[in-house]
């Protein structure tokens, strides 16, 4: 039987999903990050299927979301988008350390995945943590600087007054470059990485992610099975059942 446990670790609310009979065992660990304005509960179907395969799965609550909400409107929340992404990356390490030190996670078998904002955080985490063995980005983007500038242009085109000045923007871009996988692809070190993205996505541009994937051909030349991009011709910003199953299969094969 798969159990769902509501926990709080290092002040991070999370759902802990694992087979009851495996609860005290050292297992491969997967941290699955939710999207912008979403919540940890929205990815329980991923966690359940992964737990069925023998993984220990964590669904953390991102800053200013769900149990950590502070009553911000979506517009106000968006002003904190990159703060949330970077805090999530930091917290991934805290959660991993807790479960490894508790002898509940196999340090050699740590995976990370996420949808949308969670996929963006996943790709940024790959620049920071060589201990991540395998990853899945669902509608994410590795191009932090490019994506940030695109987001600002989208806001301007909608006639919105930006809550940042030019100095704020340059300071943010300088920080984001540290986590921008497209500017340091060697950090991947040929680790297994799956992308899923809808071609009609209006929220996270398909082209940014696909162009990055194409640039990785030489890095994965001798291990092509470790990199995969599933492009959904008809999908917008919603993962298909195919994407869900591909995520489960990816970790089963590579973690």
Q: Which of 67-76, 89-98, 137-146 has the lowest mean pLDDT?
A: 67-76
Question: How much is the CA Rg of the chain, to the nearest whole Å?
Answer: 18
Six token digits for residue 20: 């009851």
pLDDT band at 166 (very low <50, low <70, confident <90, very high): confident
Residue percentage of the chain with pLDDT more than 70: 99
pLDDT at 162 over 80: no
Q: Is residue 161 predicted with pLDDT exceeding 80?
A: no
Name the one residue in this structure whose structure tokens are 């195919």: 242
Give the C-alpha separation, 95 to 7, whole Å.
11
Q: What does the alpha-carbon distance between residue 105 and residue 56 come to, in Å, rounded to a whole number? A: 8
Q: Which runs of E-coded beta strand occur in 10-91?
A: 12-19, 27-33, 56-60
Beta sheet of 12-19, edge-to-edge order = 2-9, 12-19, 56-60, 27-33, 105-115, 132-138, 193-198, 227-232
pLDDT > 90? residue 12: yes
Predicted confidence at residue 164, as pLDDT, reads 73
Work out the burial of residue 224: count CB atoms within 10 Å of its CB; fewer than 13 is exposed, 13-18 middle, 19 or more buried.
exposed
Checking if the pLDDT of 219 tops 90, the result is: yes
Q: What's the pLDDT at 179? A: 98
31 phi, psi to nearest 5 deg = -105, 120
**Per-residue model confidence (pLDDT) at position 157:** 80
Residues shown for the chain: 255
Helix intervals (H) in 158-240:
166-176, 206-215
Backbone angles phi, psi at 23, to 5 degrees: -50, -40
What's residue 232's pLDDT? 97
What domains can you pick out in the chain, each with its CATH number?
A: 2-254 (3.40.50.1820)
Residue 9 pLDDT grade (very low, low, confident, very high; cuts 50, 70, 90): very high
pTM equals: 0.97
Measured at the CA of 211, the angle between CA 129 and CA 183, to 5 degrees, comes to 40
- What does the block give as tokens for 90? 């930091």
Residue 60 phi/psi, 5° resolution? -80, 155
Q: Is the pLDDT score of 75 beyond 90?
A: no
Task: Reply yes or no on whether the pLDDT at 59 is more than 90.
Answer: yes
Q: Is the pLDDT of residue 163 over 80?
A: no
Lowest mean pLDDT across 31-35, 38-42, 104-108, 170-174? 170-174
Q: Return the ∠ at Cα 237 (arms to 198 and 199), rounded to 5°.
A: 20
Asked if the model's pLDDT at residue 168 lies above 90, the reply is no
Query: Which pLDDT score is estimated for 165?
Result: 79
Could you tell me the maximum CA-CA distance found in the chain, to the nearest angstrom?
Answer: 55
Residues facing 227 on adjacent strands: 193
Q: In this model, does residue 93 exceed pLDDT 80?
A: yes
Mean pLDDT of all residues in the chain? 96
């Amino acid at each position: 039987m798969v159990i769902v446990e509501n926990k709080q670790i290092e002040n991070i609310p999370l759902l802990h999903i694992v087979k009851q009979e495996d609860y005290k065992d050292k297992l491969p660990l997967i941290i699955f990050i939710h999207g912008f304005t979403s919540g940890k509960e929205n990815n329980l179907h991923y966690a359940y299927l992964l737990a069925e395969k023998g993984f220990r799965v964590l669904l953390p609550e991102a800053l200013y979301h769900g149990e950590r909400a502070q009553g911000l409107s979506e517009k106000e929340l968006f002003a904190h988008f990159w703060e949330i992404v970077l805090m999530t990356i930091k917290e991934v390490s805290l959660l991993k350390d807790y479960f490894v030190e508790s002898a509940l996670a196999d340090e050699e078998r740590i995976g990370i995945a996420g949808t949308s904002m969670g996929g963006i955080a996943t790709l940024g985490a790959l620049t920071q943590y060589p201990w991540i063995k395998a990853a899945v980005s669902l509608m994410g983007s590795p191009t932090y600087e490019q994506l940030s500038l695109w987001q600002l242009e989208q806001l301007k085109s909608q006639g919105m007054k930006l809550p940042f000045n030019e100095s704020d923007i340059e300071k943010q871009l300088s920080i984001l470059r540290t986590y921008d996988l497209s500017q340091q692809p060697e950090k991947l070190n040929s680790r297994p990485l799956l992308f899923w993205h809808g071609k009609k996505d209006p929220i996270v541009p398909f082209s940014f992610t696909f162009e990055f994937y194409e640039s990785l051909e030489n890095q994965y030349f001798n291990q092509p099975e470790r990199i995969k991009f599933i492009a959904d011709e008809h999908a917008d910003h919603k993962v298909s059942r195919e994407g869900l199953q591909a995520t489960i299969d990816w970790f089963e094969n590579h973690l």
